Amino acid sequence: MTYTEFINETDSKLAGLYGPEERRAMAVRLLQHFCGISQYEHIIEPFGTIVPEKNSVLLHSADELAMARPLQYILGFSEFAGNLFHVEEGVLIPRSETEELVRWILCELKEKSEKCGPGCSILDAACGSGCIGVSLASLLAGSRLYMCDISEKALEVARLNSNTILRQDSGIAIFKYDLLGQHPITDIIPEGSLDVLVSNPPYVRYSEKNQMHRNVLEYEPSIALFVPDDDPLKFYKAIALMGLKILKASGMLFFEINEAFGKKVLEMLESLGYSDTELRRDLNGRERMVRASFSRCKGSLQDGQPHVGR
């Protein structure tokens, strides 16, 4: 079987699932991964022959794609912010728009130069694969990284990615935590000690399921995706309240959000005492990211209730 024959056969199998360019790009990606060819070798040598022992794994992988299994799960990794993150079923696949959130955080930290030195502390809440927290820690020398999730599988994968990409044992704490539970986060992260709290929590309403592709609905973990229609901001509010306890004065909170609720998220944050709020669009023009600052002279928690200073 030649490169062109495999690409054409895979293209045919995936018709109806993906667009023409995406179908062929997936076929090429399988060739690169399993046969070790370069990005352009199938163009330069379209009739290059695939070694017989690779035919079976390639055809099986193409069949998996035809069943809507995500390419990243087949390969076992996802490219994100310049690193390869291990992914598998049970863990959300990192998205390109989340890379934009990482870049925004880094830009904000560079502007506030005093936060860029050794000792910058970060919590990636609902961390999944760890793509946000690990990416930030890899670019901020000497940072203290916390990552939490309710899923044991996510924590296992986050630990693997932390060990593989960061290659360090100190300065990293990965722990199981229910964002909607009653266990106080200050038992793990000291009060008023955090520079950055970031989260990409579940935010897709159940009513939006019919707008989603099979490869997401049938393979990616629903616990990392969906929230009830009658309480779509429940994770954002829980995390924001947590931030009131653990963020430093002038600490920053960042969210990836459902584009339908940008203004409501800002209103919720401001009602809790956060300031300097900003809603930002992604490269596709959708309102998908939020930033807020916390000042202990403006917001505090007493008896579990937010109070705004005068």
- CATH number at 283 reads 3.40.50.150
Residue 249, helix vs strand vs coil: strand
Strands (E), the chain: 77-80, 83-86, 121-125, 144-149, 172-176, 194-199, 204-205, 226-227, 247-256, 275-281, 287-294, 299-302, 305-308
Whole-number pLDDT of residue 168? 73
Whole-number pLDDT of residue 62? 97
Pick the last residue of a domain from 44, 67, 90: 67
Q: Are residues 40 and 176 in the same domain?
A: no
Q: Are residues 220 and 98 in the same domain?
A: yes
Q: Are residues 126 and 28 in the same domain?
A: no
Residue 188 lies in a domain: yes
Q: What residue numbers bound the domain in which 63 lies?
A: 3-67
Which two three-digit tokens encode residue 7?
């690409």
Pick the last residue of a domain from 30, 45, 67: 67
Q: Are residues 193 and 288 in the same domain?
A: yes
**Separation in Å, CA 193 to CA 49, 113, 185, 186, 296:** 58, 17, 12, 10, 12
Beta bridge partner(s), residue 147: 124, 174
Report d(CA 92, CA 198) in Å as an integer: 16
Q: pLDDT tens for residues 198-240?
A: 999 999 999 999 999 999 999 999 999 999 999 999 999 999 9
Residue 83 lies in a domain: yes
Residue among 158, 132, 154, 133 at smallest CA distance from 145: 133
Q: Are residues 95 and 59 in the same domain?
A: no
Whole-number pLDDT of residue 113? 57
The model's confidence at residue 310, banded by pLDDT at 50, 70 and 90, is very low
Q: Are residues 179 and 88 in the same domain?
A: yes
Report d(CA 111, CA 101) in Å as an integer: 16
Q: Are residues 10 and 121 in the same domain?
A: no
Which two three-digit tokens encode residue 212?
């989603």
Report d(CA 263, CA 278) in Å as an integer: 10
Determine contact, residues 128/224, Cβ cutoff 8 Å: yes
Q: Are residues 120 and 191 in the same domain?
A: yes
Query: Within its chain, how far is the Cα of 182 from the centroid?
Result: 25
Percentage of residues of the chain with pLDDT beyond 70: 92
Q: Are residues 267 and 187 in the same domain?
A: yes
Q: Are residues 96 and 216 in the same domain?
A: yes
* Average pLDDT for 109-124: 75
Domain count of the fold of the chain: 2
Q: pLDDT tens for residues 256-269?
A: 999 999 999 999 99
**Which of 9-13, 155-159, 210-214, 297-301 has the weakest average pLDDT?**
297-301
Q: Which residue has the higher pLDDT, 185 or 307?
A: 185
- pTM for the whole thing? 0.91
The model's confidence at residue 4, banded by pLDDT at 50, 70 and 90, is very high
The model's confidence at residue 73, banded by pLDDT at 50, 70 and 90, is very high
Is the pLDDT reported for residue 298 higher than 50? no
Whole-number pLDDT of residue 309? 35
The model's confidence at residue 169, banded by pLDDT at 50, 70 and 90, is low
**Which of 41-50, 109-118, 172-181 has the weakest average pLDDT?**
109-118
Q: Are residues 91 and 34 in the same domain?
A: no
Residue 72 lies in a domain: no
Q: Are residues 59 and 91 in the same domain?
A: no
Residue 233 lies in a domain: yes
Pick the last residue of a domain from 12, 40, 67: 67
